[in-house]
Amino acid sequence: MSERVRIRLYILLTLYVYKELSFMGIYKILSGRFKITKGRIDYHLKQLCQEGLLTYRKSFPFLDGSRVKYRISQKGIDEIMEIRNMIEAHINDSDSEP
């Protein structure tokens, strides 16, 4: 699996777990896992939003400390569930082989 795919999948899974995060929240989590720059994370977030897998909302910094919050969309959740089902099917197929 390419690093690009791993990063995007990790972003989706992170937002699935945390529901909503700021850019810096996502950066802190990903930078602990990957050697990645803020610019590269921003690029991936924009691509995932364009694909409809993430949504974002602009907020007021004086209210919650962040200007943009990201969430996984229903389409993103559906993609994660499809991947999970493919993995489970592969595991079940492997278990049934002699």
Sorted by where each begins, the domain ranges of the chain are 3-96
What architecture is domain 3-96? Orthogonal Bundle (1.10)
Nearest to 45 by CA among 15, 19, 74: 15
Quote the tokens at residue 64. Answer: 């919650």
Q: Exposed, middle or buried, 19 (CB in 10 Å: 0-12/13-18/19+)?
A: exposed
Taking the C-alpha atoms of residue 54 and residue 90, their distance in angstroms, rounded to an integer, is: 27
Taking the C-alpha atoms of residue 23 and residue 45, their distance in angstroms, rounded to an integer, is: 9
Nearest to 47 by CA among 11, 13, 15: 11
Q: What is the pLDDT along the chain (98 residues), one digit of tens a residue?
A: 799 999 999 999 999 999 999 999 999 999 999 999 999 999 999 999 999 999 999 877 666 666 889 999 999 999 999 999 998 888 887 766 65
